[in-house]
Structure 1
Amino acid sequence: MKTNAGRFFEDFSLGETIRHATPRTLTVGDQALYTALYGSRFAVSSSEHFARSIGYDRAPLDDLLVFHTVFGKTVPDVSLNAVANLGYAEGRFLAPVYPGDTLWAVSEVIGLKQSSNGETGIVWVRTTGFNQDGARVLSYCRWVLVRKRDPASPAPEPHVPTLAPVVAADEIARHAPALTIDSYDFDLAGAADRFGDYSDGERIDHVDAMTVEEAEHQLATRLYQNTARVHFDRMAAEKSRFGKRLIYGGHVISLARALSFNGLANAFTVAAVNAGRHVAPLFAGDTVSAWSEVLATCPLAGRDDVGALRLRTVAVKNRPSGDFAGREGEGYAEGVILDLDYWVLIPR
């Protein structure tokens, strides 16, 4: 067979390495389209002059554009037959990616567990993104619920990997050495708030909201070469449990990050993703808003000009962000669609 129907749960083997197809060279055009889709306003990825003034070679591509591009490489081999993308952990942004860089990806299967219904199974993978020189630029783990080809096929021996709940602060400090934050222009960045202006437990209502339309989320997902049928194929989507096309979860992550500018304008880079969960689906016509909680404030060793904030950003649909909907006991409040725990860097 010359065509690819995607892998089913039975097709994965613990410890196997998957080298994904189609390297992708990213350009300023990709960054411009990304900005048009989400309206991100962080100065580092918007201005060559601003980026150079704090030590970057030039304006780096948005961190999440890099994440989605690497993620998109993995879809044909990992999640084409997925029911749901369940979560993320141990995400590390390892180096800036600039226009003209080429990204490619490799994944290792680190866990397998068949579901109790025998019809699906969870696959854990660790994916690494590389640039054209073979340097690692991104690493993360995710786990996916994947359909079985034959429910009667034997289950593999279950193996659930142990993943760190938080990326250690000393690991994210590597983002800072080349930067010269003493030249950071707060006026041009859009806000005066520094590291010391945030406190543990503080909640920030990002105020703004965006309504998602069918065309834009499909355009975004094509930008990342994500081939998951549930995002594009109406006939296939109508047979799913949702009955209509599902918006790619990464689209929600990028919307939440863009919305967080209002309150976190100086969180100039995402350094790591500790954990993430797509709590509920999003569909065209829904309106997304977001709020963030400061889980921890962490000075970086040897640096008096930059610190790290551990944030929990919650995206909600069709309700105001200011009511801080979140966990309710063992579950989530109605309307919560994303719960993301991550580190950002911010000037002190």
Structure 2
Amino acid sequence: MTKTNAGHFFEDYQVGMEIVHATPRTVTAGDRALYGSLYPNRFALHSSNLFAQACGLPESPMDDLLSFHVVFGKTVPDISLNAVANLGYAEGRFLRPVYAGETLRSVSQVIGLKENSNGKTGIVWVRTTGLDGQGDPVLEYCRWVMVRKRDTGAAAPETVVPELAAKVEARDLKVPEGLNFSNYDKDLAGSTHMWEDYAPGEVIDHVDGVTLEEAEHMMATRLWQNTAKVHFDATLREDGKRLIYGGHIISLARALSFNGLGNAQMIAGINAGAHANPAHSGMTVFAWSEILAAEETSRPDVGALRVRMVASSERGMAGKLRDDSGRYLPSVLLDLDLWLLVPRST
């Protein structure tokens, strides 16, 4: 009798199935320090207790993506251990900041299934919620994953494709309780550009680049307790290369976006996202953003920007996303549609 976990295969899932993921994880100041050493993150709200307190928060919260990665990592052994690819995201909302000392865990519900025509794989849609130690939600998102079948002869389940919103409505974004940008210090934040300074259609080249290192991406993936084999075991891929965890690319792009979006202090939502092409050690990651919309929130001092954040393996590709046939360019690594909270001039 085997005692090891081979993970779920496509035929193991049922629509409505709820999965309580192991292992709860308490985040600490050490996580913040290691996150900062892996990514060139300079957003003041996540760097300074004093700056955060001046903005109405009790202390500097964990980086929003640090919380996302911890919650996401919990789901990997149950959702994507046998995945071919993580295909997309939708309906993501960051419901409140997470602080050092809090414990996070994850639960997921299967909301859709569709076997692929090759009979070897299928698409699994899940809605995941990250919970704190009291069981209250801190973030939620949907994602869909292509998962291998254990038995290609197994009967296909009934196809259920969920209807997911094309975007999170601005009115449904959660502005953290207490957050107050009315006395915002632009000098300490490192940027003079406020919510009013951005216009839909504007494209921002974030200029800087970071070359991917093998050890760093594996360290990051272990930090989130993400057990996906393709990130560690080079023998599992025909090209003999470890696949860089997509969350590593997301965090790099977000950190690089400081140069041009330095006052976009918090992520409030994920509207959509795709890991367009694989990334490997030795590639250099650049980033650019397009402003899709600027919306008011429930607070007069806090505005929301809807931003397309793109990571590319080539410099100088700002505004270039797809070829003439509509396919992603080979250099595009990430296409992520976000809501960001930015101070307004009052």
Q: Is the 2:95–2:176 contact (alpha carbons within 8 Å) kept by the matching residues of 1?
A: no
The alignment status of 1:273 with 2:270, answered yes or no, reads yes
Which of 243, 246, 250 is residue 240 of structure 2 equivalent to?
A: 243
- Correspondence 1:258 to 2:259: no
Return the letter of the residue paired with 1:178: G
Could you tell me which residue of structure 2 aligns to residue 346 of structure 1?
342
Q: Which residue of 2 aligns with 1:208?
A: 208
Q: Is the 8 A contact 2:286 2:312 kept in 1?
A: yes
Q: What letter matches 1:72 in structure 2?
A: G
In the other structure, the counterpart of 2:220 is 220
Shift in Å, 1:259 = 0.3
Q: Equivalent residue of 2:182, what SS?
A: helix
CA contact (8 A) 2:290 2:319 kept: no
- Matched residue, 1:27: 28
Retained in 1: the 8 A contact 2:97–2:176? no
- Residues 206 and 321 of structure 1 are in contact (CA less than 8 Å); yes or no, is this contact kept in structure 2? no
Stretch of structure 1 that moved more, 323-332 or 259-268: 323-332
CA distance in 2, matches of 1:46, 1:176: 17
Task: Using the TM superposition, give the Cα deviation of residue 241 of structure 1 relative to its aligned residue in structure 2, in angstroms.
Answer: 4.5
Q: Which amino acid aligns with 1:337?
A: L
Partner of 1:295: 292
- Asked if 2 retains the 8 angstrom alpha-carbon contact of 1:20 and 1:105, the reply is yes
Paired with 2:240 and 2:147, the residues of 1 have a C-alpha distance of 18
Q: CA deviation at 1:310?
A: 0.1
Structure 1 range deviating more: 176-185 or 127-136: 176-185
Q: What's the counterpart of residue 324 of structure 1?
A: 319
The reply to whether residue 46 of structure 1 matches residue 47 of structure 2 is yes
CA drift at 1:244: 1.5
- Once residues 344 and 65 of structure 1 are traced to their aligned partners in structure 2, the CA distance between those partners, rounded to angstroms, is 16
In structure 2, C-alpha distance between the alignment counterparts of 1:205 and 1:233, rounded to whole Å: 34
Deviations 1:202-261 (A, max 9, x none): 00000000000100000000000000010011222xxx2443110000100000000000
Q: Percent identity?
A: 60
1:85 corresponds to which letter in structure 2? N
Q: SS of the residue aligned with 2:259?
A: helix
What is the number of residues matched between the two proteins? 342
Task: Find the aligned partners of 2:162 and 2:100 in 1 and give their Cα distance.
Answer: 35
2:169 aligned with 1:168, yes or no? yes
Alpha-carbon distance in structure 1 between the residues aligned to 2:186 and 2:115: 51
Report how far residue 325 of structure 1 moved. 2.2
Instruction: Tell me how far apart the structure 1 counterparts of residues 328 and 207 of structure 2 sit (CA, whole Å).
Output: 21
TM-score, length basis structure 1: 0.97
Choose between structure 1 and 2: higher helix proportion.
Answer: 1
Unaligned runs of 5+ in 2: none
Q: Which residues of 2 match residues 305-316 of structure 1 at below 5 A? A: 305-316=301-312
Contact 2:61 2:97 in 1 (8 A): yes
The aligned amino acid for 2:342 is I
Tell me how far apart the structure 2 counterparts of residues 306 and 209 of structure 1 sit (CA, whole Å). 30
The residue type equivalent to 1:212 in the other structure is L
Q: Encode CA deviations 1:259-287: one digit per residue, 9 max, x unaligned.
A: 00000000000000000000000000000
| Aligned partners of 1:79 and 1:146 also within 8 Å | yes
- Partner secondary structure for residue 50 of structure 1: helix
Distance 1:308 1:261 in 2: 16
Q: Distance in 1 between matches of 2:142 and 2:176?
A: 23
Question: RMSD over aligned Cα, in angstroms?
Answer: 1.0
